Every structure is written in structure tokens, then in C-alpha cells.
Structure 1
Amino acid sequence: MIELPPYPRRASNAAVRDADPLAYRLAASGVGTLALGVLLLVGWALVQFEVVRAAWLDTLAGLVAVVLLWAGVLGLALGAALVAYPAGVRRELALHRFARSVGLSYARFGAPLEMGGVFFAERAPGADPSYGSAFELYRPPFDDAPLRLGVATFEGGRDAARGPRHAFRFLALRLPRPMPHIMIDSVRNGRLRAELPGAQRVSLEGEMDRHFAVYAPLGYARDALQVLTPDVLVCLLEHGRNWDVEVVDDLLLVASTRFRRGRDATEVPALLRFATLLGAEIRTQVVPYTDPRAVFPRTQVAAAGRRLRRRSVWCDIAILLGLVIGVPAAILGGVLLVAR
């Protein structure tokens, strides 16, 4: 087991004040904002259910109710954010201290997440990244870090490319060369089968198939198995059962659904250990890898292996129509059969 420094304890109130003198003033104003929000919602209830009756309300009751409702909801949301502000400062202090103790840098907001693949989605050429990074530990340089660990959150618009999760904790490791696209989906945190056709599934046999679903582009199953050696599989089984892993271009990506503040103390050190262990095993297989289908086998991957094929929307529509039409038809057929 790789030893890391202990995760920092909860920062004291004095440390929070030193880091941000306004933290507790904002929290105090948040309490008042919460109280105001509650009063506004009480007023909305009184108007909505006609507990309060007044002549001037006869024509304005609907408008007043809408204004009170939205103002109350906004007050509660803003008040909750202000009350939680000191906790956010504590989170930053802990991450900053831990990053320094392991030789990494820390940034409240990371560099743009310009990766492709499944986790971060394939955006259109020239489009801005769909996901932003926060609470990030990284190994410099900032703009092209060989190691990044942070929280990714979807920030794109309605038409932006979207991955399977709105927010998640991610680890990104730079590999020595581009590799075929490989997805290792942990069955513990919800399968990604809705994203990927089953024809690309690669069987690992034995116990591994009960814990992970592995996908590779058609024709690249043997390449995936070349990377996923027994040592790599043991590392995944012993240390990475809770996470999904993706190899895309020259990146090794790990995604965790445990991205909330309360999980920092366990997930951040665990992901760093996993990065060291899995990164070392994967690199051993990546360095000698060649793709004979590519023009330059030692440095390139052929177009067929660069991306997994995603499940088509039309496939989902066909399945839905099959259920809508097929189930009633089966029931009707059963009824007619019994009637005979």
C-alpha cells in the first residue's frame, strides 16, 4: 500500500477567518436571508389558500402569490448558500494543505476540461468544453497538467454535448502515447450500458466480469486485453471497484460518483493511490504498444480505434416503440388465446 500524508483535520474557525475575513459575516447574513425566505413562503401560503382576505387582493392575488413564492424560494436558496460559505472555505483549506503535502498544486477552478470520450462527451469542433473543473489538485503546468484530480460539473447549454453524469469527481493521468478507446465500467455505481452498444463489450472472464464491463471499438478487443494484463486487473479489483475508468487518446481517466465535500477525506487520497498504482501498471503496457492498422503504428491509433461507437438515439426509440406496441400486443394475444 502506498503511504500518503494524512488528510488535514477540520480547519478551526480562526483559520477560516484568516483565510476569508468575510466568511462568517456572510453566513450570518445567510441566516437572516433564510428567515426572510420562510416569511415570504408563509405569506404565499396565506394568500394562496385565502387565509388572508383583503379587497385589494381580489384582483392581484395571483400576481402576489407568484411573487411571494419565487422570492421565498430564492431567499431560501441564497440563504442556504451563504450559511454554507464557511464550510466551502474549510474545504479549500483542507485541499490546499493536502495538495502541498503530496507535492501538488491546488486551484479553486481548474483549466478547461477539453477531453473527449464518454465521461466528458464529444463536443462539436470549435465548441467550448461542456464541463468545468473545481477544487482541483494538479501537477504543473496548469494548462497541460500530467495529473489532475478535481470535481467536474456540466456547464454547457441545452444543446451542448453531455456525458452520462451531471457532476463527478475525476482523475486524469497523461499517458506516454495515444491509445485505443477503452471503457471499464464498474457495476457498483450503475452501468453505462445505455451509452454503449453491447457489441463492443469485451469479456474478461471469471470474477472480473461480475465487477466490470469492459468496452473497446470493434476489432480492438485483443488490443484492450493487451493493455488489461493480469496485474492491471488485480489493481482494478483490489483498489478500483467503485470507479469507472476510461482510456481515451493519451489520457487515463477515472470517474467517481462520490464528489461531495464530505467525501474529500477518503476519495482524494484513495484516487491518488489508485493513480500511482494503476498508472504504473498501465504505462508498462502503453509504452511498447503498437497499432498495426495506423500509418505510424508506434505513435498513432487508426481511426477505427480512436472512439467507441455510442448507442444511437434511434435505437432507444425503436426499443421504446417495441415496448409500447409489443407489450399490449402480447397481452391481447394471451387474452385471445385464453378466450378460445
Structure 2
Amino acid sequence: MNQIIDTTPLERRVTRREARDFRTAMAESGNAGWGSLSVSGNATIAALIGGLTTVAVLLVVGIVWIFNRSPELLLLAAAGVAFGGLIMVAIFAMMNRDRRLSLWKQHLTCVRFAERNGFVYRPETPGPRYPGLIFNLGNGRATEPGIFSDDGPVVACGRYKWETGSGDDSKTHRWQYAAIRLPGTLPHMVLDARSNNRLGTNLPVAYRSDQRVSLGQPLDKHFTAYAPSGYGFDAYYIFTPDLIAYLVDASRAFDLEIVDDWLFVYSRSGLDITAPRTWQQLDWLAQTVGARVGSRSESYRDHRVGEPAMDAPGLTPRPAPTGPPPQVAPRGRRLRTGVKWTAIAGGILYGIYLLISLIAKIAEWVG
């Protein structure tokens, strides 16, 4: 099978000078998304360390003044602390510069890779409008960074993040994903890989257990499959034996979701856009799993409805194919969510901990 995606730019080493020149060019270009990345953090770190050094100097001078009021000793102590602070500023500034330069090397590598393959690289894309299970959670949603394509087969790949909670209780969630556009619409189905689960599913969304379907071995050994109630036979139609073989062979480390006319691949750490292996895997998945799911989506018809299904909100309407358009009844378009029992158990344990702490404090006050 011939490789479509050229990963050569990902294997080429970027020099420090190339990274600096690229950073300067992006800062001067005014392109959206690059300006904030061009601001150096050295000044902030230097100011922080400078403030701490000032406090340390005053503290040392105060201690020396209490125990020995010699002006010479005071001057020597202050000079020593100040000199140490300057060294710390220099060290941290160099470390921060190297770290940021390394990030710019990655940016340039991704830009070159995207240009070679006709993709677009964006360091940050606020609020991607996809129907997948991770894309409508929390606030502050963004893909950072991501590589996108208008004509596929892989439409997007990147690291997606969102935030939950607020203030001190806020938490940032990060997932890596790839999106493959299908030529037709299919019922909502999820394959939850068992290999990356611990105590229950690792997915941020739980689905009701009565929607689990068995597709036989070997798929059941590696995945927990979900389909809307009453769509078990539809799942058999979509997941043919040859497709199952490909899924077990190469996809069992990923979670997969079919929703509307999309196939999403999810991972916590296995879809690094700077790694050639990621694109080799996605290239293979698109030509095997994606092609077979896409073929099924073109021929699939849901006998439960007689009217064409509407496009999902926020997505570009697709031209209707010849013949009856692919369609899914309302109850087949989305899985019903359930409760993550691991989260409930964690909340109960945390509540017990707080209760015990409160009882201990009350006992201490009474005693």
C-alpha cells in the first residue's frame, strides 16, 4: 500500500538559526495565532527572580545587622546574595530561551510538514466545531497545536484541550485526536479500547450500559462497543469481518467514534503531530479503516426514517449523492450518556475524607 502522507520534513533537523529566523518572521507577519507565541518570557522570570533576590538581600542584611553590626560584613553579605541572584537570573533566562526555541523548532517542523502535504498548521485554533464526544465539554476549548486539511483523507489532527471548574478548582483536560470525514452519515457508535482503561473507561464521557453491543471475537477482547438501542444489527452491517481485523491489528490502542459523517480517533498520548509514526498510522488507518467505514456510510440506509437527515449544526452541508441520501433516525444519531461510577466513587471517598477531617477538628476543639 503506497504511502500518501510524506513525513520527510518531520525527520529533518531544524537548526537554532532557522528557528530564530522563523520566530522573527512570524512576529513581523501579523498572522493571527503567532503574535502571542513570539513574546519572550525572560523578562517575567527575571523580574520574579530579581524580586526574590531583593527580599533575600534584605533578609540577610537584617540577620547580619542583628548579630554583627559590622558595615563591611553587611556589604559583603549583600553583595554575595545579589551576585547569586544575578547568576540565577542568567541561568533561568538561558533555560527559558532554550525551551522556547525548542518550541519554535517544533512549529517550523510542523509548518514544513504541512506545506509539503498540502495541509495547514495552526498553533492554536479556538473552539473546533466537531460533533465528537470530546468537543462539547467544558470551556476554553481549543486545538493547540493542530494540522488541518480541506480534502483529507485525514481532515484534522492535533491536541485538544478544554477546562472544567473555576478558580482554584479549575482543571485542564487534554486529548489528542484525528478526524476523518466520511462520504455518508452513520449512526453514532463508539469503540472504547480496553488497553487504555484502568478502573472503568478512560473516556471523558460514559455511555449507558444497555447500549453495549457484542460484535464477537476478536473485537470484544480489545474494545467495548456502543451503539444506540435497537442498532445492534446496524453495527454488524458497519463492522464487517475485514474491518474488525484491521481494527484489532492497528487500532486497539485508540478509542474510535463514528458520529454523523465523521470518524474520530482518540488518544491521550499516541497522536503526536511531530512524530512520523503518527502520520504513518493515520495514513494506514485512513486507507483501511476509514475507507471501509466510508464505503459502508455510502450504502447505509436507516429503515427507521423516511426523510433525509439534517446536517449536524455548525457543519458545512454536503451535496446529496445520487439516489436516496444517507440518513439516520433521531434515536440513532446520538448515544445516551450515563454515569461514570469511578467519578462517583472518587467523590464519595473525598466526602468521607472531608467528614473525617471535620470530626477530627471538632474533637480537637472539644479536647
Give the TM-score of the pair, scaled to structure 2: 0.64
8 A contact 1:29–1:79 mirrored in 2:
no
Q: Residue 137 of structure 1 is aligned with which of 135, 140, 147?
A: 147
Aligned partners of 1:279 and 1:153: how far apart in 2?
Answer: 25
Aligned partners of 1:199 and 1:26: how far apart in 2?
Answer: 53
Provide Cα deviations, 1:94-133, integer angstroms capped at 9, x if missing partner: 111112222222222236322234222368xxxxx75211
1:149 aligned residue: 157
SS at match of 2:123: strand
Provide Cα deviations, 1:61-107, integer angstroms capped at 9, x if missing partner: xxxxxxxxxxxxxx999997665211111111111111222222222
Aligned partners of 2:280 and 2:231: how far apart in 1?
Answer: 33
Alignment-mate amino acid for residue 101 of structure 1: R
SS at match of 2:158: strand
Post-superposition offset of 1:212: 1.2
SS at match of 2:159: strand
Q: Assess, with a 3 A threshold, how the Cα gap between structure 1 residues 314 and 87 changes in structure 2: closer, same or farther.
A: closer
Q: Assess, with a 3 A threshold, how the Cα gap between structure 1 residues 80 and 289 changes in structure 2: closer, same or farther.
A: farther
Alignment-mate amino acid for residue 185 of structure 2: P
Aligned partners of 2:17 and 2:342: how far apart in 1?
Answer: 57
8 A contact 2:299–2:326 mirrored in 1:
no
SS at match of 1:93: helix
Post-superposition offset of 1:39: 5.2
Provide Cα deviations, 1:134-175, integer angstroms capped at 9, x if missing partner: 22221138xx9971111111146659xx99x91111111222
SS at match of 1:188: coil
CA RMSD of superposed structures (Å) = 4.3
1:267 aligned residue: 278
Aligned partners of 1:236 and 1:34: how far apart in 2?
Answer: 51
8 A contact 1:16–1:86 mirrored in 2:
yes
Q: Assess, with a 3 A threshold, how the Cα gap between structure 1 residues 139 and 88 changes in structure 2: closer, same or farther.
A: same
SS at match of 1:185: strand
Of the two structures, which has the highest relative contact order with CA contacts closer than 8 Å and spacing of 6 or more? Answer: 2
Alignment-mate amino acid for residue 213 of structure 2: V
Give the TM-score of the pair, scaled to structure 1: 0.69
SS at match of 1:16: helix
Is residue 168 of structure 2 the alignment partner of residue 168 of structure 1? no
Alignment-mate amino acid for residue 303 of structure 1: P
8 A contact 2:218–2:248 mirrored in 1:
no
Is residue 133 of structure 2 the alignment partner of residue 118 of structure 1? yes
Is residue 264 of structure 2 the alignment partner of residue 253 of structure 1? yes
Post-superposition offset of 1:241: 1.9
Aligned partners of 1:52 and 1:182: how far apart in 2?
Answer: 69
Aligned partners of 1:237 and 1:258: how far apart in 2?
Answer: 19
Consecutive unaligned residues of structure 2, counting only runs of 5 or more, are 28-36, 67-88, 309-324, 353-367
Q: Residue 14 of structure 2 is aligned with which of 11, 14, 19?
A: 11
Q: Identity percentage over the alignment? A: 27
Q: Assess, with a 3 A threshold, how the Cα gap between structure 1 residues 112 and 121 changes in structure 2: closer, same or farther.
A: closer
1:32-111 pair list within 5 angstroms: 32=46, 36=50, 83-110=98-125
1:136-215 pair list within 5 angstroms: 136-140=146-150, 147-155=155-163, 158=166, 166-190=173-197, 191-192=201-202, 195-215=206-226
8 A contact 2:106–2:274 mirrored in 1:
no
1:280 aligned residue: 291
SS at match of 2:296: helix
8 A contact 1:30–1:79 mirrored in 2:
no
